[in-house]
Chain A
Amino acid sequence: MADPMKIRAALNGDVVEVKALMAHPMETGLRKGSDGKLVPAHYIETVKVACNGREVLSADWGPAVSKNPFLALRFKGGKAGDKVSITWTDSAGESRTDEVAIG
């Protein structure tokens, strides 16, 4: 099981700014390990961000997103206390969901 994401959701006026840091190796499948063999590809393929169940962003990623990915977005229609949840699914079929209340 992957480590939890670090998520922050802050309300500025009527805009909610979400910043997230995910724990993931994001292996491209092109890198050689210390044994000289290729490390198999393993990266996040989809990310979905929702606010109280309403989707506010969906992303498709390739292996070129940096290790331990950072993502920030801004959306309208959220208020303090609403739950922002982020779900990622990777190329190995693993997934993780974390949520935070808008502060």
Chain B
Amino acid sequence: MSALLELREVGIGYRPGSPLVPPINLTVGRGAFVGVVGPHGSGKTTLIRTLCGVLPPIAGAIRFPSGPPTIGYVPQQAALDPVFPLTAREVVAMGLLPGLPRWQGLGRAQLEAAEAVLETLHIADLAKRRFRQLSGGQRQRVLVARALVADPDLLVLDEPAAALDAVAEQQLYHQLRAIHGSGKSVLLVSHNLAHTAGISTQLILLSRERSFVRAGDTGEVMTSAVLSEVFGVQVHVEKHDCHYDLHIGAHQHGHPHPGGAAAHAHHG
């Protein structure tokens, strides 16, 4: 598996000299499914904004051995302003703009391409509806469609399940498995270790105090020792063929309880 990107002692944050987390080292291969897991405020979004080029790294280097990958990005929905009178297919078609000449706007061909992706994701009926009128789950799927419409090398999703109910969340993870199964590299940010570890090939774990970062293959990170250190509680991990069972022990002084972060993690 060739490397898509390499993180070497990467520091993330907003001011040089004040990194939010310790340096991160990780090599992400093509076709990998990388989960970034940590509680709210642990620096997950800052990390992926850095990986996507929205923020510059304040230390270290991010390398692209095969050249900069094309990225499809799915932001948190709360960041999107509902005042824009855009239809779902217009939102999706925006994902094609980077591949068009600068002075070319969206035309019929781009809107038809957007509708084709919506059809692939079984939401063609949403094409002409206002984006702001859609439910949280529908918006999320439209944003996934926008991220996929230009056939990117890497699909990045920032807390995509944050505004979803349980059913919509399951549908989303099912969809992500299918996308990954088609050969696409995926980087998923979540605070839900149970779901993310179940579908990831690599994990980056961040702690609430931003004092711990563990990055590596999912099997290497999902150990009792690592999880106990990151979450500050005794965590016993049992690995099965296709999932992990996590058992929470005593709460260590000075560390927050992981809450829902540690539970049953199904793999594959």
Tell me whether A and B are bound partners. no
